[in-house]
Structure 1
Amino acid sequence: MSWTGRAQRRGKFRTTLGGHSYTFDDLRDLLAKATPLRSGDVLAGVAAESAAERVAAQTVLADVPLTHFLDEAVVPYEDDDVTRLIMDSHDAAAFAPVRSLTVGGFRDWLLSWEADTATLAALAPGLTPEMVAAASKLMRVGDLVAVARKTRVVTGLRTTIGLEGRLATRLQPNHPTDDAVGITASLVDGLLHGAGDAVVGINPATDRPSTVRALLDLVDDARQRLDAPIQSCVLTHVTTTLELLEQGAPVDLVFQSVAGTQAANRGFGVTLDQLREAREAALALDRGTVGRNVTYFETGQGSALSADAHHGSNGGGVDQQTLEARAYAVCRAFDPLLVNTVVGFIGPEYLYDGKQILRAGLEDHLCGKLLGVPMGVDVCYTNHAEADADDTDTLLLTLGAAGCAFVITVPGGDDIMLNYQSLSFQDVLQARQTLGLRPAPEFEAWLGSVGLLDAAGRVPRLVPEPIRALMA
């Protein structure tokens, strides 16, 4: 039976806890009230009013059957193409092993020995974003790390991303005026520190096609001169990328920011059809050497709320973490090389402090991987958030333990174009050494071949000749 033929069950959830009665209007309300505290949900008017109400909601949520998520959509099927994508692509056969479980039972099963790497990979097509978001709401930080660590998603273009024991990096050489010399200097700085195996990804200061083309040519020329196994991406709008693909530009990855509702994606100026068209055009270039994953997506908790696209009215709506998980269903449909949540970028209105950023980053990482998405994280915060470098250190090391595919790195940890704080190249070197992690294998071999990495995984203090030639 198709999803549209099912009865779309909606009803109140009730419980009594500590002598108090609690009522939750529907699944959407229950998920929101069960979410660990974050400022965005308070701003939206969907958060639990007290810790007691949150515990009551989590208690009720634990007893909800996973099959209920196939019968009640948090965003109406008829109104939203993301919901239609989720429901119409659901794999019932893959879902069968956990079909009889409740949310609480699913959480316990995920932590069990039976839920090993191969089993979780086979399960991914059978899970909906709302299922994994619900389970994550019942987890502590240690649970989020433990389940994510044994969940693995491997992708490739010129480097292989997501292998066990590896931590890749996006080298982000942004410049406030898109200056070629400034970008090249940051590129060299990153390569000297062993960064760039996930992607050399530039946020352009302007979306003009001519500027984007010049940046694409700049990085592709450096790649060829160095004979380096890297992929590049200029993070322009997908419509600009489509235009440049038609011109024959050296596009490795199609980029787009996406969210968990059709209305939020409309706010980004993008449709699912445009993403399909751009992916097909990039595939036709056949620029990969070890794989054919040619899309790159960024997401972030709060994006739908900030666009007033969270399906709320009079203080209602879907909580931001559930909507974030729904964004991964969009990503999954386009077989990406990379997906990352920019976890602290939107601001303290959505994630107030370091504790909320830590929790959100680990939730996003886990939910994306359980859905079969190659997850990375921009470990970052804005300067008006209650966070600092100690918080980013904590999240980086925790993500490394959790098997994160990649993180974003910028010179000195300070992005001079986007004006926010992220990780430095040195931060990732330290994390790799501390946790025994290595770069992507193809990139690691290249680093060794040009004298940028010794047998112990250390970068040299001298600049090798190939890099000197790039700087000339």
Structure 2
Amino acid sequence: MNLKTTYLGTVYQFSSLKELFAKANEEKSGDRLAGIGAETVQERIAAKEVLSQLTLSDIREHPLLSPEEDEVSRMIENQVNKPIYESIKNWSVAELREYILDDSTSGDDLKRLGRGLNSEMIAAVAKLMSNLDLVHAANKIEVLTKCNITIGYQGTLASRLQPNHPTDNVDGMIASLKEGLAYGMGDAVIGINPVDDSVESVKRLLHATHSFIGDWDIPTQNCVLAHVTAQMKAIEQGAPADMIFQSIAGTEAANRSFGINASLLNEANDMARTLGTGTGPQRLYFETGQGSELSAEAHFDIDQMTLEARNYGFAACYDPFIVNTVVGFIGPEYLYNNKQVIRAGLEDHFMGKMHGIPMGVDVCYTNHIKADQNDIEDLGVLLTASGVNFVIATPMGDDCMLNYQSLSYHDVAALRQTMKKRPSPVFEEWLEKMGIYENGKLSKIAGDATIFAR
């Protein structure tokens, strides 16, 4: 395996595949914080050149984190389809990129191909792609999943309605929920981040959302984004949960810092199937974000983009209903500015789709990062063009509980109209029935939450 090249008269020798992957990554403040990123643009270009010539078998045969040491690595390795892998193992990473971007390669071709790749191969090819490459490739791939309704159809853009409240006040949450529904939000999930993730609080929010959904016959799913163990206890005590949620990471050690492991998630999946209120077959919701492994000191000198790809390999083992990356939320230590946030959002979406998972993005930022609402709207446009399964919508784009900025209800509505996207079909039928949509567009009463006061 050659890890050496000469570029502009300078010899670049990389000591390991791990170092090569890190230095071939687009600039991320998290990689700099970890001391593993490229020192110069020239070094980054040299790393990309070397990476492009490696074969897929080179990557598989030299794991960045050994399956003997890490359960995430084992699970990813066990998922690789051997006949598909054998047919492509001698491809270079550059040849893989050309195949993905070729006009004759369909979305179904890419979904089949993805079954023969591991997460590191998918990360490697993403490192060689431009932003437009990532948009073009991801847009080919349709991933359909069903909990209570099916989302992910090409030509649609679903949304998670996020009616968080700074004190978990049910009346305040319901008021925000009504406004979001009046803008056509909520087909992916009505998902609440609780301030208090005690079992009693989780039960109260699940009962409130489930009752509202039932009263108005809304074709969607509910979820409260507490720790998985709190949700499981709430469900055991009779709380109506369509899905179970958990944040995940790309290494066993980072997952352990979250208080989870593969066995616990298997147990949660079984509980969602036997005691949950979602009809399925998919009933899990995962959330990720570049940099989480570094913040847990569990990154093993692997770059944050590659670790994020491993999140998706881990998630794919559970056949989830939805997965989203929270790009821009963790902070400038990991994604410093608008350029890095936009790049990470496009990388994450592409890598998730190549893993065959239903990929969404929380298009967001915090006030101490060098980005603003225009940057987030730019990323929203790019992701919508990429065929993202869903985005997250908050009232006025300002989450008053988590204290960060995201897309607003009306932003998502504008993305649908501008990019000619529709809500998920069954949800759109309900919107038409409620008078919120007319002829595939928002009606004159859209945004008026008083329609739910009748």
TM over 0.5: yes
Matched-pair contact (CA < 8 Å) for 2:235–2:276:
no
Matched, 1:234 2:220: no
Deviation at 1:67, TM superposition (A): 1.1
Counterparts of 2:186 and 2:90, CA distance in 1: 44
Work out which of the residue numbers 299, 303, 307 in structure 2 matches 1:310.
299
Amino acid at match of 1:296: Y
Work out which of the residue numbers 275, 287, 290 in structure 1 matches 2:277.
287
Deviation at 1:433, TM superposition (A): 0.6
Deviation at 1:172, TM superposition (A): 0.3
| Secondary structure of the corresponding residue to residue 78 of structure 1 | coil
Work out which of the residue numbers 279, 282, 285 in structure 2 matches 1:296.
285
**Cα deviation per residue 1:419-443 (whole Å; 9 max; x = unaligned)?**
0000000001111110000001110
Counterparts of 2:61 and 2:427, CA distance in 1: 46
Matched, 1:109 2:99: yes
| Secondary structure of the corresponding residue to residue 442 of structure 2 | coil
Matched, 1:416 2:406: no
**Cα deviation per residue 1:227-269 (whole Å; 9 max; x = unaligned)?**
1101011001111122122222111111000010001001101
What is residue 189 of structure 2 aligned with on the other side?
A: 199
Matched, 1:209 2:199: yes
Deviation at 1:159, TM superposition (A): 1.9
Matched-pair contact (CA < 8 Å) for 1:241–1:254:
yes
Normalising by structure 2, what TM-score?
0.97
Counterparts of 1:261 and 1:433, CA distance in 2: 39
What is residue 368 of structure 1 aligned with on the other side?
A: 352
Where structure 2 has 5 or more consecutive residues not aligned to the other structure, the ranges are none
What is residue 61 of structure 2 aligned with on the other side?
A: 71
Deviation at 1:97, TM superposition (A): 4.3
What is residue 414 of structure 2 aligned with on the other side?
A: 430
Counterparts of 2:78 and 2:146, CA distance in 1: 27
Deviation at 1:413, TM superposition (A): 0.2
The number of residues matched between the two structures is 453
Deviation at 1:465, TM superposition (A): 7.4
Normalising by structure 1, what TM-score?
0.94
Deviation at 1:118, TM superposition (A): 1.3
Counterparts of 1:212 and 1:44, CA distance in 2: 36
Counterparts of 1:464 and 1:30, CA distance in 2: 53
What is residue 52 of structure 1 aligned with on the other side?
A: 42
What is residue 452 of structure 2 aligned with on the other side?
A: 467
Matched-pair contact (CA < 8 Å) for 1:226–1:466:
no
Counterparts of 2:73 and 2:440, CA distance in 1: 48
Where structure 1 has 5 or more consecutive residues not aligned to the other structure, the ranges are 1-10, 312-316
What is residue 150 of structure 1 aligned with on the other side?
A: 140
**Cα deviation per residue 1:320-370 (whole Å; 9 max; x = unaligned)?**
000000000111011101000000000011001111000000000000000
Matched-pair contact (CA < 8 Å) for 1:216–1:250:
yes
Deviation at 1:139, TM superposition (A): 0.6
Matched-pair contact (CA < 8 Å) for 2:21–2:124:
yes
RMSD: 1.3
Counterparts of 2:98 and 2:79, CA distance in 1: 26
Work out which of the residue numbers 176, 194, 204 in structure 2 matches 1:186.
176
**Cα deviation per residue 1:199-233 (whole Å; 9 max; x = unaligned)?**
00000001110000000000000000001101011
**Runs of 4+ displaced beyond 3 Å:** 285-289, 462-466
Identity over aligned pairs, percent = 47
